[in-house]
Amino acid sequence: MLRLATLERGHSWPKRLFLGAIERIGQVRADDVLRISIYRPRFFGHAWMRFAKSILRGPSPWSAGERELIAAMVSRLNACPFCVGIHTGTATLGLARTVDLAMLENWRGAGLDARLAAVFELLEKRAADPDALTPADIDRVRAAGVSDGAISDVFYVAFMFDLINRLANAFGFTTGTVEGTRKSAAILHRLGYRVPGLLLR
């Protein structure tokens, strides 16, 4: 249960019907990101979901799976168990390799390619002091073969998760069981951040 009852049960009736339907079909609690994004989308949800789809599934030098992995790492650095759970699940499906919290914590031994290793290094530095990033930090990532477009996309994924990790932690997004999280990740992997436009009005 979310900490605000209105985010749990305050939706207009068509949206309540929609949430109920996907819970019946998916046999899992509707994702709390979806729940808050369709609550009052003209305040928060409409531009947010468009942005999420563009950043995580739009054109990018990174594959969708790689972006999910970056999302999971940002979420780990922000200490957001809900988003770590979901996005290690989507990264696992997208990359066809096991991504879990232990892998994110011990990423240096996880056999990441040089580009992703340089990005993880950058994300760790940024988490320790977000205002301390220097041109030299950027140059180190470039030297690992990461283009400016790819570095920029890392920062946009980080923006998204800097935002949603805070909302998840503050509102108390429900982590659920391991099986529930796996199901939610599979649904997200399949639907790819597409939300019917009617729900975002």
Partner 1 sequence: MPLEVDRHVSEIDDLLREVLDGPGVTTRGERTAARDGFGPGPMQAYLTKVREHSYRVSDEDFAALRAAGVSEDAIFELTVAAAVGAASQRLEGARRAMRRSA
User: Binding segment for partner 1 among 24-32, 34-42, 87-95, 111-119 (CB under 8 A)?
Assistant: 34-42
What are 138-146's contacts with CB under 8 Å, separation 24+?
143/118, 144/114, 144/115, 144/117, 144/118, 145/114, 145/115, 146/115, 146/118, 146/119
Q: Least separation, in Å, of the C-beta of 63 and partner 1?
A: 18
- Structure token pair of residue 201: 């009005």
88 part of the interface to partner 1, by CB under 8 A: no
Beta-carbon neighbour count of residue 165 at 10 Å?
A: 23
CA distances, 126 to each of 66, 129, 154 (Å): 19, 5, 12
- Structure token pair of residue 51: 């942005």
Residue placing its CB nearer to partner 1 in the complex, 46 or 115:
46
158 part of the interface to partner 1, by CB under 8 A: yes
83 within 8 A of 34, measured Cβ to Cβ: no
User: Binding segment for partner 1 among 17-25, 104-112, 132-140, 177-185 (CB under 8 A)?
Assistant: 132-140
How many Cα atoms occupy the beta-carbon half-sphere of 35 within 13 Å? 26
Residue placing its CB nearer to partner 1 in the complex, 116 or 151:
151
Of residues 26, 29, 171, 186, which one binds partner 1 by CB under 8 A? 171
User: Binding segment for partner 1 among 12-20, 26-34, 169-177, 188-196 (CB under 8 A)?
Assistant: 169-177
Residues that bind partner 1 (CB under 8 A): 3-7, 10, 39-40, 42-44, 46-48, 50-51, 54-55, 78-80, 126, 130-139, 147-149, 151-152, 155-156, 158-160, 162-172
